[in-house]
Chains A and B, each alone.
Chain A
Amino acid sequence: MPLADAVTTAWPWNPLTDFQVMWSYPFMVNAFRAGAVIAVLAAAVGWFVVLRRQTFAAHSLSVVGFPGASGAVLVGVAAGYGYFAFCVGAAVLIAMLPGSGKGRGEESALTGTIQAFLLACGFLFVALYKGFLNGVNSLLFGSFLGITTSQVLLLTVVAAVVLCVLAVIGRPLLFASVDESVAAARGLPVRALSTVFMVLLGAATAEASQITGSLLVFALLVLPAATAQVLTPRPGLSLVLAMVIGLVVTWLGLTVAYFSPYPVGFYVTTFAFGGYVLARLVAVVRQASLVRRGPLLRSAV
């Protein structure tokens, strides 16, 4: 990989020059821009995914993105369009299944079956497009090379639309996610909310796939939100925290991947996972200190 070579020649290590060199590559600048957009979007949508316990649906959508992307490459379109078409299409389908969105029983079996078939189709498309075998890795595990300025623009527009819709339906969606029967009794369109959210999830999954690949979308979709919710039970705060965590792990992952020969998906996922483990540790320590302080407080009263 030429990038890694470029870095080794820059020895002795000088961070400032290294960053200047990194920023002088337009594709790196685009990767950071796209990464920021994707991280914020995925964290916001993922925050509801964690709350609604829809990680199975998110996983299904991401797997469906793979045949979409490889099919798009096969017919000569950018992979990004394939991700969007298949993820959003599958989201609409899942939303239309009876008793949608809760990932239970028969429905999840059906989703799983279709998902397996589509994954197989993806491999077929890859096999049909003979020269493309090297690209499989980046479709499955992510890549930041070759994100063009127009792709950044598309990602930004889609993210802006999704975030606007999420802002409008946010509070009712939170209500319906936590307390569906009361929300329904209040006259909220619970069913429609879950359909709309599914479509937003499809779009967010398609975006996240473009950095982390199909198989690692959880790194941006689920881990930052799960980490934030471990750290604080305040809804507003944990939503913002999730976005910050997503942004930090993405940029960190991109930077480290630039300076190393290993893929970006690995780094983003590892940092996100590390953050989650750290958060759990913090929670355990906090809990322990609360327990220790408990009897003290009581004896003081």
Chain B
Amino acid sequence: MTAVTSGIPAQTRTEPTGQPVLRLHDAGVRVGGRTLWSGVQLSIGAGEFTAVLGPNGVGKSTLIKAVLGLQPLAEGEIRVLGQAPGQAGRRVGYLPQRRNFDASLRIRGTDIVAMGLDGDRWGVPLPLPERFSPRRRAARARIEEVIELVGATKYAHRPIGQCSGGEQQRLLIAQALVRRPEILLLDEPLDSLDLPNQAAVAALIGRICRVEGVSVIMVAHDVNPILGYLDRVVYLAEGGAATGTPQEVITSETLTRLYGTPIEVLRTSDGRLVVVGQPEAPARHSDRHAPASAEEADRAAG
């Protein structure tokens, strides 16, 4: 099955030019004695928008964690901005897969964004008024700027628990962006958003990628909201992976070969892709991320 990766002739055409910001070479991961995926080849250039797709429990979040250096590889190699995973520090922004913040959490959106800037610093900052501290002035300006960028200015001063799912997601994207990372890793940021919000947040991420030149790697359950912005997709399956442009990878032929079971990709009149017959990954006994997996599977399938 790993042969699928090299089995896509067109892939060579889409190799990024220049130094790749992220490179996976024959990468494989095992959790709890089970191989999630292996033999993954991937090379992502600066400023590209990449989607990581696949059924629930296949190891998409684990791939993101491997890139962050939180999940060791069983085989192969990952290079992030030319370094080992976890070494690139502030040059990588991350938005984990999550449920929403507790409604009773009494911390403002701005504070959540500010944590992205200096929340990992030890010690207390001197309570100097901003007038005397150029650094605090700069920090505040950057926080305001990034909140403006994601369009959250109106509600950033509200307790984050009282913001809607879409508002929270924008603030969290601002948090991930506040240090001007070169790579943005987003784990299902459209999860649990209604359709208009999905479209709006997808457009925001597309804009961040194009205008700010940030390389975006985004896990998605449904490719349609981001289809228009994508440069590259990674389809994960038990064992292997298929990588390439959306046109190459999201086809009946490639997915059937990847999953070893008949899969049909249909294109609706409005350009949406519908994947029919996508298998769920086996042995999913402790998938903490999938409280509503049946529903999500439905969504992915149609």
Question: How distant is the Cα of A51 from the Cα of B115 in the complex, in angstroms?
Answer: 15
B120: CB under 8 A from chain A? yes
Q: Which of A51, A167, A178, A184 gathers the greatest number of chain B CB atoms within 10 Å?
A: A178
Take A167-B123, A172-B120 as given contacts and tell me if A178 and B98 are in contact as well, using a CB distance cutoff of 8 Å: no
A292: CB under 8 A from chain B? no
User: Is the beta-carbon distance between B115 and A174 smaller than 8 angstroms?
Assistant: yes
User: Is the beta-carbon distance between B106 and A168 smaller than 8 angstroms?
Assistant: no
The residue in chain A whose Cβ has the minimal distance to the Cβ of B175 is A182
User: Is the beta-carbon distance between B122 and A168 smaller than 8 angstroms?
Assistant: yes
User: Is the beta-carbon distance between A178 and B105 smaller than 8 angstroms?
Assistant: yes
A185: CB under 8 A from chain B? yes
Which listed residue, B70, B106, B116, B121, touches A184 by the CB 8 Å rule? B70
User: Is the beta-carbon distance between A234 and B122 smaller than 8 angstroms?
Assistant: no
Chain B contacts for A60, CB-based, 8 A: none
The residue in chain B whose Cβ has the minimal distance to the Cβ of A181 is B96
Chain B contacts for A121, CB-based, 8 A: none
Q: How many residues of B contact A (CB 8 A)?
A: 30
The residue in chain A whose Cβ has the minimal distance to the Cβ of B125 is A171
Take A184-B70, A185-B94, A185-B96 as given contacts and tell me if A178 and B121 are in contact as well, using a CB distance cutoff of 8 Å: no
Which listed residue, B70, B101, B111, touches A185 by the CB 8 Å rule? B70
Take A171-B118, A185-B96, A233-B159 as given contacts and tell me if A178 and B123 are in contact as well, using a CB distance cutoff of 8 Å: no
The residue in chain A whose Cβ has the minimal distance to the Cβ of B111 is A235
Which listed residue, B102, B108, B118, B124, touches A233 by the CB 8 Å rule? B108
Label chain B's interface by main secondary structure: loop
User: Is the beta-carbon distance between B94 and A178 smaller than 8 angstroms?
Assistant: no
User: Is the beta-carbon distance between A175 and B115 smaller than 8 angstroms?
Assistant: yes
Question: How distant is the Cα of A167 from the Cα of B122 in the complex, in angstroms?
Answer: 8
A152: CB under 8 A from chain B? no
User: Is the beta-carbon distance between B115 and A178 smaller than 8 angstroms?
Assistant: yes
User: Is the beta-carbon distance between A174 and B96 smaller than 8 angstroms?
Assistant: no
Q: Which of A169, A175, A182, A232 gathers the greatest number of chain B CB atoms within 10 Å?
A: A182
The residue in chain B whose Cβ has the minimal distance to the Cβ of A228 is B106
Which listed residue, A171, A232, A233, touches B119 by the CB 8 Å rule? A171
Which listed residue, B102, B107, B120, B158, touches A186 by the CB 8 Å rule? B120
The residue in chain A whose Cβ has the minimal distance to the Cβ of B121 is A171
B18: CB under 8 A from chain A? no
User: Is the beta-carbon distance between B122 and A169 smaller than 8 angstroms?
Assistant: yes
B178 to chain A, nearest CB (A): 12
A179: CB under 8 A from chain B? yes
Chain B contacts for A29, CB-based, 8 A: none
Question: How distant is the Cα of A184 from the Cα of B65 in the complex, in angstroms?
Answer: 11
User: Is the beta-carbon distance between B111 and A172 smaller than 8 angstroms?
Assistant: no
Chain A contacts for B216, CB-based, 8 A: none
User: Is the beta-carbon distance between B122 and A229 smaller than 8 angstroms?
Assistant: no
A105: CB under 8 A from chain B? no
Chain B contacts for A172, CB-based, 8 A: 119-122
User: Is the beta-carbon distance between A178 and B107 smaller than 8 angstroms?
Assistant: yes
Interface string of B58-92 (1 = CB under 8 A from A): 00000000001010000000000000001001000
The residue in chain A whose Cβ has the minimal distance to the Cβ of B108 is A233
Interface string of A113-135 (1 = CB under 8 A from B): 00000000000000000000000
Interface string of A229-243 (1 = CB under 8 A from B): 110111100100000
Question: How distant is the Cα of A226 from the Cα of B101 in the complex, in angstroms?
Answer: 17
Take A179-B112, A181-B96, A185-B70 as given contacts and tell me if A233 and B107 are in contact as well, using a CB distance cutoff of 8 Å: yes
Chain A contacts for B175, CB-based, 8 A: 179, 182
A170: CB under 8 A from chain B? yes
Chain A contacts for B120, CB-based, 8 A: 171-172, 175, 183, 186-188
The residue in chain A whose Cβ has the minimal distance to the Cβ of B92 is A185
Chain A contacts for B123, CB-based, 8 A: 167-168, 170-171
Chain A contacts for B158, CB-based, 8 A: 233
User: Is the beta-carbon distance between A187 and B89 smaller than 8 angstroms?
Assistant: yes
A186 to chain B, nearest CB (A): 5
Chain A contacts for B107, CB-based, 8 A: 51, 178, 233, 235
The residue in chain A whose Cβ has the minimal distance to the Cβ of B89 is A187
Q: A171-B122, A179-B119, A179-B175 are in contact. List 7 more A-B contacts (CB 8 A).
A: A172-B122, A178-B112, A179-B115, A181-B96, A182-B95, A182-B115, A183-B119
Q: Which 4 pairs between the two chains have the least Cβ-Cβ distance?
A: A175-B119, A181-B96, A229-B106, A233-B159
Residues of A within 8 A of B (CB): 51, 53, 167-172, 174-175, 178-179, 181-188, 229-230, 232-235, 238
9 A–B contacts from the bound complex (CB under 8 Å): A51-B107, A170-B123, A171-B121, A171-B124, A172-B121, A174-B115, A181-B96, A181-B98, A182-B176
